[in-house]
């Protein structure tokens, strides 16, 4: 196990992505939710199921 990349639990990426999405939605209300969702999905390398969860719950205001 590397000190640079500690082991993460499965839900950690989704939690971090959700926290960042909320922050981005507050900072950039002018940007589309779809583009912000795509941004965090790619950054946190979410699984298709995790992406679907975020889209289903956060696509629409």
Encode pLDDT of 2-25 as tens digits: 444 455 556 688 899 999 999 999
Confidence (pLDDT) at 1: 42
In angstroms, rounded to a whole number, what is the distance separating the alpha carbons of residues 7 and 12?
A: 10
Confidence (pLDDT) at 56: 93
**Is there a domain that residue 26 lies in?**
yes
**Residue 10's closest CA among 58, 53, 39, 55?**
53
pTM for this model (two decimals)? 0.75
Percent of the chain with pLDDT over 70: 82
**Is there a domain that residue 2 lies in?**
no
**Is there a domain that residue 4 lies in?**
no
**Is there a domain that residue 21 lies in?**
yes
| Number of domains making up the chain | 1
């Amino acid at each position: 196990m590397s000190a640079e990349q500690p082991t993460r639990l499965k839900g950690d990426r989704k939690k971090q992505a959700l926290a960042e999405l909320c922050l981005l939605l507050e900072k950039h209300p002018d940007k589309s939710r779809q583009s912000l969702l795509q941004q965090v999905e790619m950054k946190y390398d979410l699984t298709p199921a995790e992406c679907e969860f975020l889209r289903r719950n956060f696509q629409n205001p």
